[in-house]
Chain A
Amino acid sequence: MKLDILYFAWLRERVGTAQEQVETDAATVADLVAELRTRDDGYAYAFSDMGAIRAAVDQELVDGDAPLSGAREVAFFPPMTGG
């Protein structure tokens, strides 16, 4: 399946892009992370501490075990600091 992947804040800076489209068979968010991590040093660094990363599937916050079937957009970002 094709997924749009978005990165925000320091994750965006570490992977070096704000948005990309990937072709993947990852079943869950955690599987997708494992796949992305193997790409290069920037991705490995960005995803080195999963405790510091939040994910959203189609703009809803999810946990790592969230399924990706039917998903169109996945976003990764640090804990939010609004307000």
Chain B
Amino acid sequence: MADRVRVQADAFDMGAELNTFADSVQGAGAVVSFSGITRDLADGGLAVMEIEHYPGMTEKALTAIRSEAITRFGLIDAMILHRFGPLAPSDPIMMVATAAPHRADAFQAAEFLMDYLKSRAPFWKKEVTASGEAWVASKDEDEDALGRWSQQS
């Protein structure tokens, strides 16, 4: 379903999104969601977080990751929503939601989606402060987080 993967500049209401998702899934016993929030810097100096992405590839990558999660964890449904453009501290950046008959699969699938999204979906973050701007470096731990899924299969 096309609207299960959304890449948008607009803000979203995570509560409303989750309610719509939960209302639409038939036969689920568990719905799990994760929301990413724009984190301020330790000194509170973040002015803007700019998110760049690769239009076209982003949607393809997210669609593929969603399908993989549905197959792997026997999900009833899953959704991925990710914003791009300038974001302010505490703005929601993205969310995923999963629906399954039982909670273990829904929880695991949400983590799987996040691990893949972190280092396989073409998004890049830049932090802008009063004193300049810097691209956010990728974390080795995000790469490591992918490893556990291949070992489990």
Contact = CB atoms under 8 A, between A and B. Distances in A.
A83 B136 contact: no
Contact of B138 (A8, A75, A81): A81
Contacts of B93: 83
A78 B135 contact: yes
Instruction: Tell me the interface secondary structure of chain B in the complex.
Output: mixed
Interface residues of B, number: 28
Contacts of A80: 118-124, 138
Contacts of B118: 80-83
Contacts of A59: 54, 56-57, 60-61
A56 B57 contact: yes
A56 B120 contact: no
Contacts of A82: 51, 53, 82, 94, 117-119, 121-125
Interface of B: 36, 51-54, 56-57, 60-61, 82, 93-94, 114, 117-126, 135-138, 143
Interface of A: 6, 8-10, 56, 59, 61, 75, 77-83
